[in-house]
Structure 1
Amino acid sequence: MAEDDKYPESSGRRRFVKGVVGSAGMAGIGAAGAVSVSGLTNPTGQGGGQTTYFGVENTDGPAPRAMPMIPIEIDDQGYIKGRYPETKEIQRQGQTVTVARMDLGGITYEVDWFQYCGVQDYQGLDPDYEGDNYFRYTGGPSSYDWQPSSGRVNVSDFENYETWTNGIGPSGIGKPAMASWRSQDTNDTIPVQIIRSTRIQEKLETETGPAIDWLKAATQDGFMAILNKCTHFCCVPGFRSSTYGDAGNRIYCPCHQSIYNPFSIVKRRFTAFPRPEDS
């Protein structure tokens, strides 16, 4: 695991639901299969119960499972932000504990979704985080040439999404950006891949089922977002970033050639760390 994933738990904070995903369940086909996966990203959840989530499907390479989605909302000025689950405090064994979860799109959306690669210990996922939920552009070698290196992400930046191309894959399949979420003044950055595509809109108009119910609640105006950490070795992949295999119109991780289809939304589950009410 990369050094920037090894952060100690913050001191002086209320106990919060955290942990790393279980080695069973997360890698399976559908919501029931289980295969052996790398302990690096999937140490056991040790009895925390099953957590179900929606993510973008891994279609090639060694990545054991889908990358989880982050539901979005757009404010009146067109700025895009990720939705953090609703929080409430409960009493358990003489302690005040905070639970972050909510019903959204027919599923329980909770911070447990992000229990891998050490992200569960990032300051931005703590309910006491003092920043906001807006996505902000990030610079660096993995960002796209068109995007700003800083500032909040706005709908107007994607006006040409129906025709945009960077020479990789066919034009018109979507415009991406690299951003961060809940990472202001923290020691770590929660990486986000944002995509705006007509394919998302088309799925909502032509398909039905649980994944579509989720998309209706978690996307808006053709925008979707995912937690951008590969589930194999925690690298940062990119949409339309390589011509390797069939990655031209998909999300590609350059570390070990894992590929994800952002337009194939799948329901998966894993064994999470114990929740406060289970302890």
Structure 2
Amino acid sequence: MANDDKYPVESDRRRFVKGVVGGSALAGVLTTGAVAVSSATAPSSGGGGFVNYFGAERLAGPAPRGLPQIPLEIDDEGQLLGVWPEPETQTLPDGSEFTEASMELGGVDYTTEWYQYCGLQTFGGLVPDADGEDQVIRYDAGSYEWMSDVENGDPMLTEHFEDYDEWTNDIGEPGQGKPATGTWRSQNVPPEQTVPVLVIKTDQLEVDNMDDRIREWVEASCPEDEDGGRYLGYVNKCTHFCCAPGYRSLDDAAAFGAANEIFCNCHNSVYDPFSISEQQFVALPRSGDEE
């Protein structure tokens, strides 16, 4: 599984190409100034434009920016949940309305516009006012041998990460934490609209050494267990060409100095999962109802 082709399946080709072409167009528009960008990213049914977000730092490769975080919380049953803001209706200067989902979390304006790239802005589960309140992170088919002990679609539970400080595999160094892959907000949508998620329980986040703004965000978005480990969640879509990267799951990562990093083997982009920073990108508007 480590060396599987990471490109989208054929059924997702149209959406993949659309996302790539849209991103390339925006990159060209950026050279013409903020006014042009604002025009190119005007909402068709909401969102788009410059967005600040928190994510994993990009270390190398052609990816233009880091992976966006999914803030997490733990419920009374020990299930890991993604945080989803309450939707609100906003009115634009021209009088038109659209729905967005945003909230203040850890002193940060957290908004679902963080996920409006790579075609995710068209996914049914990521529409701000999508039906359903199930925020549970669920296991997928599995990128790690230990995940053979859990079922595809089962809730991701904290009890499965108790050995996080001992877990290791043949890729990277021990003591980095324990990873799992899964899905989020993808229970009642077509398979091609599945939101891939990477979760790591780790003690590698040096919270005391962070500046105040980042520390406040991390403490609010990365819940801590009694044993000192924190849970960290990312959207598992490379910001370059929307491929699925891997954390300690791809055999050739070491050749690019990325054995302990998040590595995309399609074009060799590398991200540091334990270095969180505030970043900015031009989010694509959500599409209308034309599809």
Regarding TM over 0.5, the answer is yes
What number of residue pairs does the alignment pair up?
245
Post-superposition shift, 1:101?
Answer: 0.7
2:199 aligned partner: 194
Distance 2:279 2:232 in 1: 18
2:12 aligned partner: 4
1:160 aligned partner: 163
Q: Deviations over 1:139-160 (max 9, x none)?
A: 05xx211112420000000010
2:50 aligned partner: 50
2:249 aligned partner: 241
Kept in 1: contact 2:208–2:215 (CA 8 A): no
SS in 2 for 1:4: helix
Gapped regions of structure 2 (runs ≥ 5): 1-6, 16-21, 33-39, 225-229, 287-291
2:27 aligned partner: 23
Q: Does 1:213 align with 2:216?
A: yes
SS in 1 for 2:255: coil
Distance 2:168 2:85 in 1: 34
Post-superposition shift, 1:240?
Answer: 1.1
Q: Deviations over 1:118-141 (max 9, x none)?
A: 00110111112325100000005x
Distance 2:90 2:64 in 1: 34
Specify whether residues 220 and 5 from structure 1 end up closer, same or farther in structure 2 by C-alpha distance, changes over 3 A only: farther
Post-superposition shift, 1:76?
Answer: 1.0
Q: Does 1:123 align with 2:124?
A: yes
Distance 1:58 1:216 in 2: 21
Q: Output the TM-score relative to the length of structure 2.
A: 0.76
Kept in 1: contact 2:261–2:272 (CA 8 A): yes
SS in 1 for 2:182: strand
Specify whether residues 50 and 134 from structure 1 end up closer, same or farther in structure 2 by C-alpha distance, changes over 3 A only: same
Post-superposition shift, 1:82?
Answer: 0.3
1:260 aligned partner: 271
Matches within 5 A, 1:62-211: 62-90=62-90, 97-126=98-127, 127-130=129-132, 132-139=134-141, 143-147=143-147, 148-150=150-152, 151-187=154-190, 188-200=193-205, 203-211=206-214
2:282 aligned partner: 271
Distance 2:85 2:71 in 1: 10
Post-superposition shift, 1:162?
Answer: 0.4
Kept in 2: contact 1:20–1:45 (CA 8 A): no
More helix by share: 2
2:231 aligned partner: 223
Distance 2:117 2:145 in 1: 29
Post-superposition shift, 1:191?
Answer: 0.4
Kept in 1: contact 2:243–2:264 (CA 8 A): yes
SS in 1 for 2:99: strand
Q: Residue 23 of structure 1 aligns to which amino acid in structure 2?
A: A
State the 4+ residue runs in structure 1 displaced beyond 6 angstroms: none
Specify whether residues 77 and 212 from structure 1 end up closer, same or farther in structure 2 by C-alpha distance, changes over 3 A only: same
Specify whether residues 158 and 274 from structure 1 end up closer, same or farther in structure 2 by C-alpha distance, changes over 3 A only: closer
Specify whether residues 76 and 61 from structure 1 end up closer, same or farther in structure 2 by C-alpha distance, changes over 3 A only: same
SS in 2 for 1:168: coil
Q: Residue 263 of structure 2 aligns to which amino acid in structure 1?
A: Y
Distance 2:97 2:51 in 1: 22
Q: Residue 113 of structure 1 aligns to which amino acid in structure 2?
A: W
SS in 1 for 2:187: coil
SS in 1 for 2:146: coil
SS in 1 for 2:175: coil
Percent sequence identity is 40
Q: Residue 177 of structure 1 aligns to which amino acid in structure 2?
A: A
Kept in 2: contact 1:20–1:115 (CA 8 A): no
Distance 1:66 1:168 in 2: 22
Stretch moving more, 92-101 or 123-132: 92-101
Q: Output the TM-score relative to the length of structure 1.
A: 0.79
Gapped regions of structure 1 (runs ≥ 5): 8-18, 26-33, 37-43
Distance 1:205 1:135 in 2: 28
1:16 aligned partner: none
Post-superposition shift, 1:5?
Answer: 6.5
- Cα RMSD of the aligned pairs, angstroms, is 2.7
